[in-house]
Each structure stands twice: as structure tokens, then as C-alpha cells.
Amino acid sequence: MGRIAFLFPGQASQAVGMQAHLEDYPEAAEFLDKTYEFSGLHDLTSIISQGPPEKLTQTNYAQPAITMVSIATLRILQVAGIQPEGTAGHSLGEYSALVAAGILMPETAVRLTRIRGELMQKCADMYPGGMQAILGMDLDKVTEIVNEASAKGPVGVANMNSTGQVVISGAKAPLEYAGKLCAEQGARRVIPLKVSGAWHSPLMEDAARGLEDPVREAAFFDPGIPVVANVTANYITGVEESRELLIRQVTSPVLWADSMKLMVENGFDTFVEVGPGRVLQGLLARNRDVTVYGTHDADALKKTLDELT
């Protein structure tokens, strides 16, 4: 085994009851007990554990919920003595990665993701839109199509997740047109995503502006381990850059494939997805040079603890 990295998932990883297998671990249960204290949302604990799913999917609930569960999972790994040498988080997950690196305190991350979620939900309500995953088409071709579709309104590339998986985001009409063109011009599949807004698109500019003061007023610390940022696919150099990148991230594409490429090139060969879901595990599954672990259910968490301690 070489270098271990912790990866943190973003939105769409949430599921009702996603905290249940963590509650057997006192360090996680203690943290989850602070959900209301940290988030300020009196009903978030019950929404995480009992739903309804449509409420948990709303970004103003999903963001602090996923962050709470991801950090609770992180505490289990830390208590077990599993220490990463680097970290990254997909979109929302970057806040949890900053906690793992010591840049943010857990309560600060939860509070900021609650604010981020509220701001993004307001934008989604004002400027309806969505996202689509384009499978089996290279980035250059998707970008060409998106540029053509943007004549009909705001639409752009939101996530570059892996070779052959690009996510586009924007207003309804240009988004649907871009998806139609991708399907006609050779994409293997075009999948509308179950999200409540056009994340990482120009439609989120008001949310980015609204996040500026909360992020700049929050306490940030120098990184204890390297963190790869979504916006640059490079290592964060310090506190001020970390702040600026969180603000820019709201409207910028997530350069996930390039982020993973950098980490693998730098000797990271063991990756742990810390939190709900298994999307990030799937994106690395084809790389035979790395070993990928999950924590999304009791069996996956036990395997990770057994093999890495």
C-alpha cells in the first residue's frame, strides 16, 4: 500500500437512513447528536433518518445532511487510526475534505453548507434548470455541442467526472437541446439527473455572491495535508486561496477526472470514499492501479476498517 487519500461525495449521494450504520460507533453518534446545534435546522435529524426522500433531496437540506454524515464517518476512521496523506471532495464534498485537512472546523463546514444550500435553493427557485450526464462522448465534443446550445440560453459543462462521463448544467430549454444534440451525435446515454437546480452553472451566480461574506468571515486554518480543489484540479496553497475557491466553485466546473489523475500521478493508490453513496468509488473502478474502499453501509465500513488498520 502506498499513499491513502480520503474522498468525500457531493449531492445525489444522500439517502434516507444513511446515518444508521454509523450510530453503532460512539464517536459518530456523538457527532450526529449535534446536527441541530451545528446546522440550525430543527428538523434535519428526522429528515436524515426518516425522510421524506423528496425533502432530503432539496439542496437546502441535502447539503448539511451529507456533510454531517460524511464528517461522522470521518470521525470513525480517525478514531481507528486511519490517517490520509491527501484529500479531495466532489463539489459539496470539498467542505468535508477541508475538515479532514484541518482547514475547517466541523461545525463551520456544516454551517457554511447550510448557507450554501439555502442560497443555491433560492437560485434554483428563481432560475429553474437542471443537469444531465452525458456518457460515452469526449469532453471536446460535449463542449462544442454545449457552446452551440448556449445560443438558446445559459448552459455549460458542470462536472468532468471521468473519461466518457461529462455532466452539463443550465436552464431547461438549452439543457434539453444540448442533451438532444449529444444523443443524436453519438453519446451512448443521456441521463437527466435528479437534482433541484442547475448546479455549477451561471444560474448560480447570485448564490456565489451570497456566499462571499459567510466564507470570508469564517475561521480557516492552514492545511495539515494536501487538498486538491475542484476548480483548479491542483493543490490548495493556503487559507485565502481556499476561501476564494469555495466561492468560485459554485459556478465553476468540477474538474474531478483531472483531480484524480493528479493524485494518482503523485503516488496515491488507496482511496476511501468517506460518506454516503458509492459514486466516487465507481468513477475510480476502472483504474487497476488503485484500490478503492467505501463506507456507505455497515459491510463496506467494516471492510475498510479491517483492511486499513
Q: What are phi and psi of 51, to 5 degrees?
A: 85, -155
Distances from the Cα of 237 to the Cα of 54, 104, 191, angstroms: 38, 15, 36
Residues in the chain: 309
Nearest-angstrom CA–CA distance, 146 and 185: 12
Say which amino acid occupies 42.
H
pLDDT digits (tens, 9 = 90+) for 118-173: 999 999 999 999 999 999 999 999 999 999 999 999 999 999 999 899 999 999 99
Q: Residue 231 has what pLDDT?
A: 98
- Interaxial angle between packed helices 59-79 and 106-126, expressed in degrees from 0 to 180 and rounded to the nearest 10: 160
Q: Where are the alpha helices (DSSP H) in 33-105?
A: 35-39, 44-50, 53-57, 59-79, 93-100
Q: Residue 2 has what pLDDT?
A: 79
Cell reading at 228: 486538491
Q: Residue 196 has what pLDDT?
A: 84
How many other β-carbons are positioned within 10 Å of the β-carbon of residue 194? 11
Residues 37-71 as b/e (b if ≥16 CB within 10 A, e otherwise) read ebbebeebbebbbeeeeebbbbbbbbbbbbbbbbb
Classified by CATH at the fold level, domain 129-196 comes out as Alpha-Beta Plaits (3.30.70)
Whether residue 296 lies in the annotated active site: no
Least Cα distance to 38 among 63, 55, 15, 18 occurs for: 63
Mean pLDDT of 262-279: 98
Mean pLDDT of 4-28: 97
Q: What percent of the chain has pLDDT over 70?
A: 100
Confidence of residue 278 (pLDDT cuts 50, 70, 90): very high
Mean pLDDT, the chain, as a whole number? 97
Confidence of residue 252 (pLDDT cuts 50, 70, 90): very high
Nearest-angstrom CA–CA distance, 189 and 281: 20
Q: Residue 194 has what pLDDT?
A: 79
Nearest-angstrom CA–CA distance, 273 and 296: 8
Q: Which of these is catalytic: 91, 96, 169, 242?
A: 91
DSSP H/E element including 28: helix 26-32
* CB 48, CB 18: distance < 8 Å: yes
Nearest-angstrom CA–CA distance, 182 and 155: 13
Domain boundaries, the chain: 3-124+203-308, 129-196
Q: Which of these is catalytic: 39, 200, 242, 296?
A: 200
Sign of CA dihedral 167, 172, 178, 180: positive
pLDDT digits (tens, 9 = 90+) for 86-121: 999 999 999 999 999 999 999 999 999 999 999 999
Nearest-angstrom CA–CA distance, 153 and 7: 34
Nearest-angstrom CA–CA distance, 185 and 255: 24
Whether residue 90 lies in the annotated active site: no
Cell reading at 206: 447570485
CATH architecture of the region 3-124+203-308: 3-Layer(aba) Sandwich (3.40)
Cell reading at 194: 435528479
Cell reading at 309: 488498520
Q: Residue 1 has what pLDDT?
A: 66
Nearest-angstrom CA–CA distance, 147 and 63: 30
